[in-house]
Chain A
Amino acid sequence: MRIRTMQELLGARVVCCEENLDRQVYSACGCDLMSDVLAYVKDQAVLLTGLVNPQVVRTAEMMDMICIVFVRSKMPSPEMIEMAKEHGIVVMCTEKRLYEACGILYSNGLVGSATKV
């Protein structure tokens, strides 16, 4: 799924790295505990989370993830946005809750991280 499609489906606002909206994501992970995110390697994945701190961006960078979606209208700090920019990670914010946001993406064909493409 294109990041742009995710943005439309979630009615999300893009915070940074708009130039990467046409990149493809192949898997997703919806989680507030970072070590759970780190447990399985994913390819070109998106992280959906309600947690907002610098470790979210660092975790995404560790996993070579290409997009972070903050749910429930949470806003990342300027420091976090700078970090994401440095790594080219698209950051978006949606009003939707984590469960709903994940459900929308899943039902539109974006599989979970355990499934191999």
Chain B
Amino acid sequence: MSDELVFHFDIDGEDFTSAGQASVQIKKNLRQLGLPSEIIRRVSIAMYEGEINMVVHARGGKADVIVREDCIEIRLADSGPGIKNIEQAMQEGFSTASDEVRSLGFGAGMGLPNMKRYTDEMHIDSTVGVGTTVTMKVYFPVE
């Protein structure tokens, strides 16, 4: 079946104040669909980390959340600087965040590891100078 529901957001890279707004909105939307709260929490945390990354590391981007029969897919795409070494970026504690970003409460180097932990599948596609696409999936529990 091709029953899917897509939520799209443009993530503003200029205004840090609004960073995370799309994820709060997604959480609301998923609640309205009556999905299990554990699934909602995992999806929204993963999206939140990715959304903040796009704002602080990539000057914003686009986010799509696709609700399917068996899973929820999160697609985050930006045209930022890209990630040189993905394996390194995935390590807990690795961060290139500036002091300014740290003073805003980010830069622990935990975002990508958190995204991996809260989702069932995660894939990063990145080209230096072109941009980064992060795709994540959270599957519904099978009865």
Interface of A with B (CB < 8 Å)? 32-36, 38-39, 41, 49, 51, 53-56, 58-59, 61-64, 79, 83
Contact = CB atoms under 8 A, between A and B. Distances in A.
A62 B48 contact: yes
The secondary-structure label for the interface of chain B is helix
Interface residues of B, number: 28
A114 to B, nearest CB: 15
B9 interface: no
A32 B41 CA distance: 21
B105 A54 contact: no
A63 B107 CA distance: 19
10 contacts: A34-B108, A35-B109, A35-B111, A38-B110, A39-B110, A55-B52, A55-B105, A58-B48, A61-B24, A83-B24
Contact of A61 (B18, B27, B52, B113): B27
B119 to A, nearest CB: 13
Given A41-B41, A63-B45, A64-B41, A34 B24 contact: no
Contact of A53 (B37, B104, B111): B104
B106 A62 contact: no
Contacts of A34: 52, 105-106, 108
B44 interface: yes
